[in-house]
Structure 1
Amino acid sequence: MLRYKIVPVTPFEQNCSVLWCDVTRKAAVVDPGGDVDRIVAAVQELGLTVEKILLTHGHIDHAGGTAELARRLTIPIEGPEHEDSFWINALPEQSKMFGFPQVEAFTPDRWLLDGDTVSVGNEALDVIHCPGHTPGHVVFFSAAARLAAVGDVLFAGSIGRTDFPRGNHAALINSIRHKLWPLGNDVVFIPGHGPMSNFGEERDSNPYVGDHA
């Protein structure tokens, strides 16, 4: 079974998450935005072996610690979709803009496409391209665990911003309604910020993308 632990990082309280296979104890770190020591400590406390980094998108609060963590643990980086390469290349400029410690740009070992699969130990997650917040944003979905790591696409009671470069509000709404909702109301999701929720609750009450919006 796929298990998870949320590790809030950066001044933006971004929900970095550690996903792991409880059989192999192998793990992936999703969106290590910063505070790498905190992430490593959480992994060590859980007794896990991290085998990769998974990225939903290239904004600094999600990707800022990626190069350092990959180097420290000697692990590959998978994701996001290639359209977010301009965000990753601009990480040094983003760090200055948002007052973060200086961070490095990097090139993922594997760019992801809609329909790809990534592995975590014996577990498999589907890759779903969900543009709108950024053009290359992806979501990681475990059909077996009924769990999705959605980055900044969807939040409890809200949706991602689309006023950044190459954001697209119509594309974001389309991504949520036509790519996430069909996965099922019972799917629990880890958002990039704030509390967890499930798709059924958001369809019922989210003022931006609920069924009655």
Structure 2
Amino acid sequence: MIQKISVSDFFAVNTYFVIDEISQSGFIIDPGAQGELLLQVIEQQRWQIEKILLTHGHFDHTGAVDFLREKLGINAYAHPKAQSYLLDPYFNLSRQCVGGRVVQNVLPFGSDRILLRNNPQFYLDIKHTPGHSPDSVSFYAAKDKALIAGDTIYQGGLGLTHFPGGQLSELKKSIQKVIFSYDGSVHIYSGHSQPLTVADLKEKIVFNN
């Protein structure tokens, strides 16, 4: 089950819960702000959140990481390249927007698949999708036919690449080789817009090979 909660600090961002309905356990992806609201949802639903996962290290996707780590007693994970963003207010854009923030002690993914401890048959595949930033990843939930793509997709089209480390050629490659490799019925959940299917995205983005 995928549940979206829109939270806001400086920017509005979509936080996602990916929950195994059998064990009522799961993951939270991109807790960008309003940690108390997110914790309230977790407690009301009686979910057991095992890990915090980040699609990339920009500050609008990480604002509630420290709060939730403390309250839930769990770790946060990101691509190894995220460290240069999480620890640098210029690269994570917080210096330009909110005066500067860092997030320490985020762990690198140990493999390209994250298993749920309470039900190892429930998992997320990690796909490196650089372009918006070098550390950007997408998470594929096979049981839900869902791809949580962060800011690789923006407003139903190409993600933005004018931020530090962004690269349009890499973004196009990520969409062509990774996102477009999924079945057209797979739903894409992005950081700042409404869901759409892979088939929908292929109609909106046409690459000239």
Compute the TM-score of the two structures, normalised by the length of structure 2.
Answer: 0.89
Asked if 1:9 corresponds to 2:7, the answer is yes
Alignment of 1:83-94 (within 5 A): 83-91=81-89, 94=93
- 1:111-131 Cα offsets, whole Å, 9 max, x none, are 356xx1012342111100000
Q: Distance in 2 between matches of 1:112 and 1:201?
A: 33
Identity of aligned residues (%): 24
Could you tell which deviates more after superposition, 155-164 or 85-94? 85-94
Identify which of 195, 206, 209 aligns with 1:210: 206
Q: Distance in 2 between matches of 1:144 and 1:31?
A: 20
Q: How far 1:49 sits from its partner (Å)?
A: 1.0
Secondary structure of residue in 2 paired with 1:97: helix
Could you tell which deviates more after superposition, 44-53 or 132-141? 44-53
Partner of 2:171 in structure 1? Answer: 172
Q: Distance in 2 between matches of 1:88 and 1:52?
A: 17
Amino acid in structure 2 at the alignment position of 1:63: T
- 1:75-112 Cα offsets, whole Å, 9 max, x none, are 01121x11221110024984342127x74421223335
User: Which consecutive residues of structure 1, in runs of 5 or more, have no partner in the other structure?
Assistant: none
Q: How far 1:20 sits from its partner (Å)?
A: 0.7
Partner of 1:118 in structure 2? Answer: 114
Alignment of 1:117-156 (within 5 A): 117-120=113-116, 121-122=118-119, 123-156=122-155
Secondary structure of residue in 1 paired with 2:15: strand
RMSD: 2.1
Q: Does structure 2 conserve the Cα–Cα contact (< 8 Å) formed by 1:82 and 1:112? A: no
Asked if 1:51 corresponds to 2:54, the answer is no
- 1:31-65 Cα offsets, whole Å, 9 max, x none, are 01111011111112222011110110000111122
